[in-house]
Amino acid sequence: MRSLTESVEDLLYRLIAPILLCKFRAPRQQVILSTSALTDEEIRELYSSSPKVDEGTWIIAELGSPNRGRVAKIASDVVVKYSFTSGFHELLSAELVRRHTSVPVPMYERVFRYRHEAYVVQQYIPGRVLLDVWSQLSWWMRLRVLVTLRFYIRELRSISSRAGPPPFPGPPSDDGTPQKCTGRLFTEDGQSGPFHSYQEMSKWYQKQLLFMQRQWKVGLDSGPFDDSVPLVFTHMDLHPRNLILGDDGQLWIVDWNDAGWYPSWFEAASMKLFPEHRPDIPSSWTSSIPFIAGSCEKPGQLPFMKVIPYTLVVLGADWINRMETE
């Protein structure tokens, strides 16, 4: 049952719908991509020969070199992304959002594998990457972007009231089985989980805190992992390079690879961790994160995560999983 606060918020967004950068509660239009008749092999060949739209857009810290790009524009309306994961849960996440919210997301046409590689075929969104134009936007347009994103977060968190509560943390699953979790709040090897329950994930994090306290004497005053809030649908990689100001006037969210069902404070925590090694992210964006996604500064939230980067980055999931049984 909807609370009074939720009802008031819903009314408020209806009143300010004209300034939101999306089609508020409008029916989704069916999108058929021009490559739908091509074979997987033809798609792969086009990927190899097409320019990468994200080439040179960020620096790989370990190598100190520009990104070679892994998103190719193979047609006027289609891009193909090379994925380090199976790519299938990204398609499921995007379709879940398309089905239950007003958030503009690209249409995903297919995901296919070639040997150990995965290719994600999706709609190309004409427009400008938010990071590239943020400094040029007027104060009014920046405000519209921030209010729209706050609305998007609310929409994502309300999916459980429309689609039903998630049975377990992590990416959505089409067969009812838990999936491995990815993102900057999990291990860099992409092998975290799968977690069969919220309690299991909470225990997984808590073991890492205990290790850091015992072995390195850090985080001794840290609170336990905060699992007191509900699991909600979360993008997990929301930053200005994954936002596109579309030529159609909408603010689009792309790259749903890390999305899934996580504690509500995960969104803000992930957003705050992203700029730490990215000097190109403006401070005006960083300071707006609490308005967009809420607070994550309580004990057991972002302060907890800042205690355990060694276990997530250096040790990896296999070591953490073995630690749990010792």
238 burial type by CB count under 10 A (0-12 exposed, 13-18 middle, 19+ buried): buried
59 burial type by CB count under 10 A (0-12 exposed, 13-18 middle, 19+ buried): middle
Q: What residue ranges do the domains of the chain occupy?
A: 4-325
DSSP string, 81-131: EEESS-SHHHHHHHHHHHHH-----PPEEEEEEETTEEEEEEE---EEEHH
Identity of residue 118: A
User: Nearest-5° angle of CA 262, CA 266, CA 269?
Assistant: 170
Residue 79 Cα to chain centre, angstroms: 19
Q: What CA dihedral angle connects 220, 182, 73 and 144, to 10 degrees?
A: -60
The torsion region of residue 294 among left (phi > 0), alpha (psi -120 to 50) and beta comes to: left
DSSP string, 294-325: ----STTSHHHHTT-HHIIIIIHHHHHHHHHH
The one-character DSSP state at 225 is P
Euclidean distance between CA atoms 87 and 193, whole angstroms: 17
pLDDT at 59: 54
Helix H segments across the chain? 4-15, 40-49, 88-100, 130-133, 139-157, 159-163, 198-216, 266-273, 283-286, 289-293, 302-305, 309-310, 316-325
274 burial type by CB count under 10 A (0-12 exposed, 13-18 middle, 19+ buried): buried
pTM for the predicted model, two decimal places: 0.94
- The HSE-up count of residue 16 (CA atoms within 13 Å, CB side) is 15
pLDDT at 117: 87
**Which are the contacts of 84, defined by CB distance < 8 A and separation ≥ 6?**
118, 190
- The HSE-up count of residue 266 (CA atoms within 13 Å, CB side) is 30
- Is the peptide bond preceding residue 279 cis, with omega within 30 degrees of 0? no
CB 223 within 8 A of CB 296: no
Consecutive sets of 10 residues in the chain, 326 residues long: mean pLDDT of each? 73 91 86 95 96 75 64 97 87 96 96 92 97 97 98 96 92 94 94 96 96 93 96 98 97 97 98 91 97 97 97 92 66
CB 244 within 8 A of CB 254: yes
Q: How many C-beta atoms surround the C-beta of residue 45 within 10 A?
A: 13
Residue linked to tokens 């504690």: 263
**Span between the terminal Cα atoms of the chain, in Å:** 44
CB 116 within 8 A of CB 82: no
pLDDT at 38: 97
Residue linked to tokens 């302060």: 303
- The HSE-up count of residue 146 (CA atoms within 13 Å, CB side) is 18
